[in-house]
Amino acid sequence: MKIMLIKQKPILAFSLAGILLSPYAACDLQQQNGLDIRCQPSSHTTPVIGELSDLTLIGTSVADAPFATSAAEIVSYDSCTDLLYVVNAQAKQVDILTMDEQGKPTAIGAINLQSAAKTAGIEIGAANSVSAYEGVVAVAIENANKQANGLIALYRSDNLKLIATYPTGALPDMVSFSKDGRYIATANEGEPNANYQVDPEGSITLVDLANGPANANVQQINFKAFNKGGVRHNELPISVRISGPNATVAQDLEPEYLSFADNGKLYVALQENNALAVIDVATARVDAIVGLGTKSWANVALDASNKDKKIGNFKSYSQLESLYMPDGIASYTVNGNTYLVTANEGDSREYGVDTTQQVCDESGYTWDENDYTDTPDYTTKVGFCIAHTDEVRGKKLKIDNQHPLVEALQDKKQLARLKVVQPESKVDANKPVYAFGSRSFSIWDDKGNLTFDSGDQFSQTVFALEPRQLNSTHNNNQSGDNRSDDRGGEPEVVEVASINDRHYAFIGLERQGGIMVYDITDPTKGRFITYVNNRHYDQDVCTEVDDGDCKNGVYNPNAGDLGPESIEYFQRQGKHYLAVGNEVSGTTSVYQLQFKSHR
User: What's the farthest any 2 CA atoms get from each other in the chain?
Assistant: 75
Confidence of residue 368 (pLDDT cuts 50, 70, 90): confident
Res 367: pLDDT = 87
376, part of any domain: no
The answer to whether residue 5 scores a pLDDT higher than 90 is no
The residue among 277, 112, 121 whose CA lies nearest residue 190 is 277
Task: Kindly calculate the radius of gyration of the chain based on its CA atoms and give it in whole angstroms.
Answer: 24
523, part of any domain: yes
Res 310: pLDDT = 97
H or E segment and range at residue 289:
strand 285-291
Res 346: pLDDT = 98
The answer to whether residue 9 scores a pLDDT higher than 70 is no
CA distance 489 to 513: 8
Concatenating the DSSP letter of every residue in 109-150 gives EEEETHHHHHHHTS-EEEEEEEEEETTEEEEEEEESSTTSEE
The residues that bridge with 50 in the sheet, in sequence order, are: none
The answer to whether residue 206 scores a pLDDT higher than 50 is yes
The answer to whether residue 22 scores a pLDDT higher than 60 is no
Task: Note whether 178 and 166 are within 8 A (CB).
Answer: no
Confidence of residue 14 (pLDDT cuts 50, 70, 90): very low
Res 308: pLDDT = 96
The answer to whether residue 15 scores a pLDDT higher than 60 is no
Res 458: pLDDT = 98
Cβ burial, residue 280 (10 Å; 0-12/13-18/19+): middle
Average pLDDT for residues 291-301, to the nearest whole number?
Answer: 98
The residue among 345, 293, 300, 344 whose CA lies nearest residue 318 is 300
361, part of any domain: no
Res 27: pLDDT = 53
- Residue 247 sits in a domain of what CATH number? 2.130.10.10
Encode pLDDT of 386-415 as tens digits.
999 999 999 999 999 999 999 999 999 999
Confidence of residue 528 (pLDDT cuts 50, 70, 90): very high
Res 93: pLDDT = 97
Res 18: pLDDT = 34
CA distance 69 to 89: 7
**Percentage of the chain modeled with pLDDT above 70:** 91
Res 212: pLDDT = 96
Helix (H), strand (E) counts: the chain: 6, 42
Cβ burial, residue 364 (10 Å; 0-12/13-18/19+): exposed
37, part of any domain: yes
Encode pLDDT of 536-595 as tens digits.
999 999 999 999 999 999 999 999 999 999 999 999 999 999 999 999 999 999 999 999
CA distance 171 to 125: 10
> Torsions phi, psi of 83, nearest 5?
-125, 155
The answer to whether residue 247 scores a pLDDT higher than 60 is yes
Average pLDDT for residues 317-334, to the nearest whole number?
Answer: 98
Res 430: pLDDT = 96
H or E segment and range at residue 391:
strand 391-393
The answer to whether residue 21 scores a pLDDT higher than 80 is no
Torsion of CA 207, 209, 214, 219, to 10 degrees: -20
Res 463: pLDDT = 98
The answer to whether residue 244 scores a pLDDT higher than 70 is yes
The answer to whether residue 286 scores a pLDDT higher than 90 is yes
Res 51: pLDDT = 95
Domain of 191?
5-349+390-596
The residue among 117, 110, 82 whose CA lies nearest residue 94 is 110
486, part of any domain: yes
Decide which of 139 and 364 is more confident. 139
Q: Are strands 564-572 and 440-445 parallel, antiparallel or unpaired?
A: unpaired
Encode pLDDT of 127-163 as tens digits.
999 999 999 999 999 999 999 999 999 999 999 999 9
Confidence of residue 371 (pLDDT cuts 50, 70, 90): low
Side chain identity, residue 518: Y
Confidence of residue 37 (pLDDT cuts 50, 70, 90): confident
366, part of any domain: no
User: Sign of dihedral through CA atoms 106, 112, 116, 117?
Assistant: positive
**Percentage of the chain modeled with pLDDT above 90:** 86
Encode pLDDT of 254-279 as tens digits.
999 999 999 999 999 999 999 999 99
360, part of any domain: no
Encode pLDDT of 188-197 as tens digits.
999 999 999 9
CA distance 279 to 409: 40
Confidence of residue 1 (pLDDT cuts 50, 70, 90): very low
180, part of any domain: yes
Task: Note whether 304 and 414 are within 8 A (CB).
Answer: yes
Res 19: pLDDT = 34
Task: Note whether 323 and 274 are within 8 A (CB).
Answer: yes
- Based on the structure, what is the number of domains in the chain? 1
